[in-house]
Every structure is written in structure tokens, then in C-alpha cells.
Amino acid sequence: MFGFSRKSPAPPPASPTPAGVEAAAEASSSWRLRLKSGLSRTRAQFGGKLKSLFSRGKVDDQLLEDLEALLLTSDVGLDATQHLLYQLKTRAKRDRLDTPEAIHKALADAMFDLLRPLEEALDLATHRPFIIMIAGVNGAGKTTSIGKLAKYFQAQGRSVLLAAGDTFRAAAREQLQTWGERNNVTVISQQSGDSAAVIFDAIGAARARGIDVVLADTAGRLPTQLHLMDEIAKVRRVIQKADPSGPHETLLVLDATFGQNALQQVIAFDKAIQVSGLVLTKLDGSARGGVVAAIARQCPKPVRFVGVGEGIDDLRPFHARDFVDALFE
């Protein structure tokens, strides 16, 4: 077992001062700029080409045909593409849109309406410890995301414990321990053994120590590896033995560079472990950010967090308006 002493619980947050409000506003503005920068490849593929399409100032068959091709090549997916085109046609007719700016805004608003239901913040106050099970394919960024989530929750005054449930890959355990050192939080691990057993022990340790949040790592696996999908379903059942109400959140970490394949991962993992939220990573390394729209239409799950960089603060809650603005501006 590997661990660090836990800090005393943080005092209740004081009322924000004017300086604090200003600092928060600056941080929010800084994040929007990073998000816009991170989505630059998707915007170049998608947003940058919209102006030329809309330059005629009318929504006709040719524009819709060109726009359909653009949306599909941006990994928006067929279902979401047809939905957005229908919304654009409806708004163009209803509001008599006849300028490039109005058409551009109408499409952005349709995209926002599509993505807004995915914006749903985690409520950690419902359980203590609040158990978050983390899943995903190999290389999606699970372990790194856990480290960033630990830092994010700590910044909210929550105590955190990490469960090194990826017992297949020694490097994953070591990586998680490094994150634990960096964030000064306890990591429950074993040199070898069963993933479910490690997480079971971690939940017991968190309960005994009064920890607020348990972040439980699991080994990466492909949805086509049926025996491994059965195994992760077992991990979920063991968590429920440790806490009948858990896991309180089952996060699937998705690599944005996978495009439409990410949608298939959502469907497969949801069938196995009842996914309740998504973490979308590596948006800065992909031109496929449009896959969020495909997920919204075909397998809608709350996008809890998005990542646009390697820094420990480069994982933040998903906000549909900021995301759409970063795509379209």
C-alpha cells in the first residue's frame, strides 16, 4: 500500500471579495482562450470554411449540400448533421435569414441547443465518499485525467483518495503514485492482484478516513475485448458491494482524436458499466471535436470535463456556449 498523510479538511469558503471575483473572471477568460486555442484544428476544418459557404447570404440546396459535406468531414456524424441542417432550414425560413452573419449565427445557435443538454455539473454533495469509477480504452488519457481531476476537486476544498485499479500495467500504478505525490493525496495500490479488490480496499480506506472523493482507475480495454468488458462489469459490481449506492459516477475517458470511433466506445462501455458522464481529452491534438455533436444525438451522456493540454489545470468542466463559441468564432 502506498499513501500520504491527508491534509486537514479545508474550511468553508469565505464570501468572494471583489478581488476574488475579478480573479475568477480572469481565470474564466483565460480558460476560454485556451479552449479556443485548443480547438483551433477543428475550427480550421469546420468554422474557418463556414464563411465562404455562407457568403451567398441564402440557404439554398447548394449551401445545404456543401454544409452537409463539411459537417460530415468534421466528425459531426450523419444523424447530428441531418438534425442541424433541418434546424438551419427551419430557422432560415421562419426568420427570413438573408445575410452571412445571420446564417452563421443560426447554425451556431442550433449547435448550442444540441450540445446544451450535455452540460451538467457533478454534484459531489450527494454521497461521502463520492465514488467515481474511471474507464476507457488504452491511451485515452485515463490516468492523467485522474491526476487532473484530483487537483480540480482539491481546489474545491474536497479531500481525494486515488485507487490504482489498473493492475495490468505497472507503469499505470507508478504514474498514479506520481500524481498522488504531486497532489499530496493518498494512493491505494497493490504490487499485483485483482483490480476490483484494490478498489474495494480503497473505498473502505476512504470511509475510515472521512475522504470526500474516491477516484478509481481501471485498466484500459477495447470494447471488442469481451472478456475484459465482462471484467470491468465485475469491478462495478464489487464497488456496489462496498457501497450499495456506488459508483456514484462512472466516467468514460474519450480521446478526441478517435472521432466517430469515440461514439462507438460510448455505446459499448455504457452497455457494460452504465456510463454516467464523459471526459473528452486531447481536443488540442485533433480536428475531430465535432464528435461531441454525434454523441449528443446518438448516445447523449453529460460531458463532465474537457481537456485541451498537458498541464495539470488543462481539464475543466464542459460549457456548451464556450465550446460552440470556440468552434464558430
290 and 164 housed in the same domain: yes
Asked if 258 contacts 285 with a C-beta cutoff of 8 angstroms, the reply is no
Instruction: Kindly report the CATH number assigned to the domain that includes residue 224.
Output: 3.40.50.300
Are 160 and 308 contained in the same domain?
yes
Residues 136, 106 share a domain: no
Q: 88 and 136 in one domain?
A: no
Q: Where does residue 18 rank: exposed (0-12), middle (13-18), buried (19+ CB within 10 A)? A: exposed
State how far the Cα of 224 lies from the Cα of 28, in Å rounded to an integer.
40
Helical H segments across 156-302, by residue range: 170-183, 195-209, 226-242, 260-273, 291-298
pLDDT per residue as tens digits for the range 125-139 = 999 999 999 999 988
Q: Which CATH number do you get for residue 60? A: 1.20.120.140
Query: Could you tell me if 241 and 274 lie in one domain?
Result: yes
pLDDT at 249 over 90: yes
Tens-digit pLDDT profile for residues 78-100: 999 999 999 999 999 999 998 98
Given 90, 118, 146, which residue is the final one in a domain? 118
Domain total in the chain: 2
In-domain check, residue 200: yes
Specify whether 232 is located in the same domain as 304.
yes
Identify which of 163, 159, 300, 291 has the alpha carbon closest to the alpha carbon of residue 219.
163
Give tens-digit pLDDT for 40-63: 777 777 766 787 788 878 888 999
Q: Are residues 114 and 173 in the same domain?
A: no
On whether the pTM is more than 0.75, the answer is yes
CA distance 254 to 214: 20
Q: Is 33 domain-assigned? A: no
Which three cell numbers, joined as nine digits, stand for 206?
476512504
Q: Output the pLDDT for position 24.
A: 46
DSSP 162: E
Look at residues 118, 146, 166 and tell me which one is the last residue of a structural domain. 118
The residue range of the domain holding 54 is 38-118
Summarize pLDDT for 24-37 with one digit per residue, the tens: 455 566 777 877 77
